[in-house]
Each structure stands twice: as C-alpha cells, then as structure tokens.
A and B are shown apart, each in its own frame.
Chain A
Amino acid sequence: MVPMVLFITGFVFLLGQFGAPDLALERTLRLNNNVFDPEIYENLKINMGLDGTPIERFGRFVTNAVRGDFGVSYSLPGNPDVGRLILGSLPISLQLGLAALVLSLLVGIPAGVLSALYRNRPLDYIIVTLGTVLSSIPPFVLAPVALVLLVSTFRILPSTGFGWHGLFSVETLLPAAVLAAGPLLVVLRFTRSSVIDVLSQDYIRAARAKGLSTFSLVRRHVIRNAMTPVLSALGVVAGFLLSGTIFVETVFGIKGFGHVTVTAFQSGDVNTVAAATLVSGLIAALVNLGTDVLYGVLDPRVKVNA
C-alpha cells in the first residue's frame, strides 16, 4: 500500500511537473500579447507554485495533495479548483461503479456456478464463450451497439435521457450493464474454478451421500466455501471499473469522474489530469488493501500483513 502510493505520487509529480509544457510560460505569453516578459514570468512561477528546487516542489506537491489541493484547472473557463472538481464528480461515478459491481456479481457468480456444475459440457462452453465475448468487446463498442440495438432498432429502452438521472432510474441500467460487462469474465472464471475446486472435496461427497439435492448442496456448502477465492478478483474488477468508467461516461454523457478526466485529457489540462491519475491510483490501492483485509476476516487461515 505505502510503496504503491509513493510510486504513483512520484510518477505523477515527475511527469506532471517536468514532462509537461511550461504552464507559466504559456500564461505569460497569453497575458502579455505573445511578448515574453521575464518579470511576469517569474511572478507567475511563484504564483503557480512552479518555483524552487525539485525537492521543494515535491514537498509542496505532497503536502498540498494531502490537503486535497491540486491547484486550479487552467483550461476550463473560470479556472475552477481541481480538488473540488474531482470531489464533486466522484459520487456519480462511485454509484455507477457500485451498480456495475452488483450487476457483474449477480450475473457472474450464478453463471460461474452453473458452468462449474456442467463442467466440460455444452452449457459450460456456451456460458464461458458468451462471457468471453461480452467481456472482450470494449465498452466504447458495446455501448454504441447496445444503443443501436436496444434503443433505436427494438425500442426496448427509452431513447431519451443521456446524463445522470440517479442510481435507480431506467436510464442508469444501460451504462451500468455496459460497465459491468468488462469484469464479468473475471468474476465468472474465478467462481468457476473455485467451485470446481470445492466440488472435489470430501465434505461435498459426504453431503451428497446424505441425500442433499444439488440445489441445497450448492446453496449450503458450495457457495459459502467457494466465495473466498472470488474475493481476490475484486482488485482486478475495480481496475476494470476504473478504466471502464472513462468510456461509459463519455458515451452516455454522464458528468462523473471519468467525464472530468476525459475533458482534461482532451484539453491537455495538466493539473486535472495529474490529480485524476493520483485519485484513481489511490482508489486502486485502497481496493487492494480492502480485499486483503476482507480476505483475512473471511478466511481465518490467512494472516494480514498490509
């Protein structure tokens, strides 16, 4: 966790501050009709926090970042504060991500159990192949295809309503489903192999011998024991959701964290891009830490040294 956070911070700082074009120079030229004025330049440098040695700047970058201060966006109108911009957009994306997570677990776990029960039989192949196809198609292709099929051709879903309409609205169903398709295969595969593992255990044979039906066998003995390994997939799932939200929010015009990031990407807005990268890295690190802890709670054999 700690080395990971250090790594992201260092990486973002190095590239954001030294790889990027000189923001102070750009603003000097813009303010002074394209004539370079050293005095304005030096003042702007101090003003924008671009002065001092790299070590000083890194110290300032870290202390400011800890307080949620990432500077202001220089390419959006009104130069809004980047920290506030991101904080304001995160709740929407978290809700969308949560909806997608629930959807992919709701579909992926039963499908995984089914394909494990019918292992190496047609149903297994059909489920795994379908899952592979759904997950492999990138969200920015799946979304338009779903839109054309479900909205314009078959008119199953309402055609109005781009943007965010709240977690429990009909309009959220399609974006959440497209976002859920990415991690679906991971959930399915982990469930499948874990259930296959559990099915070969002696206590399952004992449960069968005492005459349990397949359904109650799965419900009582298989699912509970098979779910712990599936938890370790949650980190990967979070990675899918983090990257996927960029595309889904772009296609569906949802103004969340992904949207803020893409706008910053497209306009070359260094401060916002750096902050967004840092935040997404922190989310990834937190999810990984969370899964490790949860793993230890659910499986007493695992010791946590995070």
Chain B
Amino acid sequence: MTSHRTGSDPALPAAVRTAPPRSLWGDARRTFFKNRMGVFGLVIAVLIVLIAIAAPWIAPYGYSEQDWSAIRQGPSAEHWMGTDAVGRDLFSRVLMGIRTAVLMGFVVSTATVLIGVLMGSLGPLLGGRIDALVVWIMDGLLNFPAFWLAAFVAVITKPAVATLAQPMYEATGWAIFENTLVFDYSVVFLCLSLVWWAPLGRLVRGQVLTLREQEFILAQRAIGASPWWITTRHLAPNVMGQVIVQVSTGIGTLMLAESALSFLGIGIQPPGASLGNLIYTGMTSWRAEPHLVLMPGLTLSVIILAFVFIGDALSDALNPRVRDR
C-alpha cells in the first residue's frame, strides 16, 4: 500500500517528492470518473434511488387503484405506460416496483454485509472447529446456484412466517402482522440474506487472513499498536475497499433476485408491485399488449445494467492490478 506515503517522504526520488500527495481513495475516485460507463451507471443509479424514495409522490395514480373505464389501454398522455387488465396505471406500478426492488436491494445488502463480515472475520479470529464449520457452510453455499437455494428457502419458509405472524398479531394487535405484503417482503428478505452473504464472507476471510501476515501489520505490532488500532486503522480500511466493490455490484444482483423470485410467484405478489410480477403478468398477453411486459422489463434491465457498469468501473478503480492495463 503506497497510500500513506506523503510528498515529503525523503525516501522517495525527487520527482515523486514534488508531486502532490495522492491517497488510494483519491486515485480510485479519479479512475472511476474517467470511466464513462461507470459515471453513466452512477447517474442512473442515483436517479433510480431518488425515484424509489419519491415514488408515492411522483406516481400519478395509486399503485393498486383500479379504473374500470380504462382497462388494457396502450401508452397515452394520461397513462404514460398504459394500463393493465384491471385498469391499474402501469407507470405508477412500475414506479412502486422500482421502490420495492431498491428497498430489497439495500436492506438485504446491509444484512449480507453484517453477516458476511461477521462470519468472515469470526473464522480466522476464533480458529479451530468454528473456523472449519464456517468454511464448510460458505463452501456449500458458494458451490450451489444461489438463486435456486433462495427460492427453496422462500417456498419452505413462507407458511412458517405466516404461522409465526398469527400469534404475534393476537399478542400485539398491530396491523403489520396481518398484512400479507409484509409477509412477502419478510420472506424475500429472509431467503436472500440467508443465501447471499457467502461471497462476502469468503472475501473478508481471505483478506483478513492475508493482511494479518503482512509486514505493515507486523510493523504496527512492533511499534506497540493495540489490536483495536490495527483493526480499525489498518485491517478495516483495507478490507472495506473490496467489500464496497462487491456490495455495490451485489445490489443490482439482489434487485434482480427479488424480481426473479416475484416473477416465479414466490416473492412479492399482486396487488403488491414488483417489476418481476409485472413482467410475469404482462407475459400472459405479450402478443396483444407488448408494452405490459416491455415497460417493466426494460426498466429492470436499465437498473441492472447501471449497477453492472458501476461495479466494473469500481473494480477497475480499486484494483491495483488492473490499473496498468
């Protein structure tokens, strides 16, 4: 890591010494913003998040509001993306679908970071049998098609979540335990976070294992730095860079996973809006009303592509090995 050398370091050659100090993050930011696709992705992603936050206020109609005088209409000035078979405004539903995807993407990402960092650092820290167990679980999860496993967990846990909610509703009387949409959201959240942390866990574990053995950590130990100082000042910043790259790429994948589950009918279900179930419902009449499937489909594609481009640009910017391409 050359990031902590400053311009006044006498050990450096004169030409370097006169250059302004550059940090790892400054370098990364510069490389990132040079990448046109990455910047494009970032702009779209920021827009998407803003839309998700403001969706209920931007949407011209309620997302489950039915207008029986306007069913199966094509795109028009009143209904920008047309209406579906029961007269719901597709534009409003797509907006709410974006909201669902973004919500799931960010909430599940947070959960996977928590689980991944915990599991990844717990192994090397505690060692022995616990380490072996964690590695075994991670290997198992990583070798399995993640989406398949998530779908399995969703199908199996759905009735359990519903039966769990019943006594909770009786005990508290809160309407939240009676809302089927909340079940759907919690099932999707549960199954995705249970399955999706494994790559992060492996990354953190690998980083912690290699960093621990490096000279700069040894040097810190030699000058008497406390374990807390080493962890927060040296281990965490070095691991977090990689974690941020993986998470930001992962958000897109998670949004896709939510839509995919909903597409298969095991995620968010109507009247709740998700891009996946909009596509599924639209598929039934793709010949007559292609807009019903194209609009949510293209929206989803744009979102996913934006996050893919961000991820590519970030990994180029933060990976020192690719920099000399």
Contact = CB atoms under 8 A, between A and B. Distances in A.
Given A140-B260, A242-B148, A251-B283, A21 B305 contact: no
A288 interface: yes
Nearest to A280: B148
A152 B305 contact: no
Interface of A: 3-4, 7-8, 11-12, 15-16, 19-21, 120, 129, 132-133, 136-138, 140-141, 144-145, 147-148, 152, 159, 239, 242-243, 246-247, 250-251, 262, 264-266, 268, 270, 273-274, 277, 280-281, 284-285, 288
A246 B276 CA distance: 14
Given A138-B260, A144-B286, A144-B293, A19 B304 contact: no
Given A141-B279, A250-B264, A270 B140 contact: no
A203 to B, nearest CB: 23
Given A15-B153, A140-B260, A277-B149, 8 more contacts: A16-B156, A21-B160, A136-B304, A137-B301, A140-B276, A141-B298, A264-B155, A277-B148
A243 B283 contact: no
Contacts of A242: 145, 148
**Residue among B147, B148, B159, B298 with the most chain A CB within 10 A?**
B148
Given A3-B139, A3-B140, A20-B159, A273 B152 contact: yes
Main secondary structure of the interface of B (DSSP, over half): helix
Given A138-B259, A266-B266, A144 B294 contact: yes
Interface of B: 37, 136-137, 139-140, 143-145, 147-149, 151-153, 155-160, 163, 256, 259-260, 263-266, 276, 279-280, 282-283, 286-287, 290, 293-294, 297-298, 300-301, 304-305, 308-309, 312, 325
A4 B294 CA distance: 40
Contacts, number: 130
Which are the 7 A-B pairs with shortest beta-carbon distances? A7-B140, A141-B297, A21-B159, A148-B290, A144-B293, A277-B152, A19-B156
Given A15-B152, A140-B263, A247-B260, A8 B312 contact: no
B297 A8 contact: no
A30 B15 CA distance: 84
Contacts of B308: 132, 136
29 contacts: A3-B136, A3-B140, A4-B139, A7-B140, A11-B149, A12-B152, A16-B156, A21-B159, A132-B305, A136-B304, A136-B308, A138-B260, A138-B301, A140-B276, A140-B279, A152-B290, A243-B147, A247-B260, A266-B265, A268-B159, A270-B155, A270-B156, A274-B152, A277-B148, A277-B149, A280-B144, A281-B144, A284-B143, A284-B144
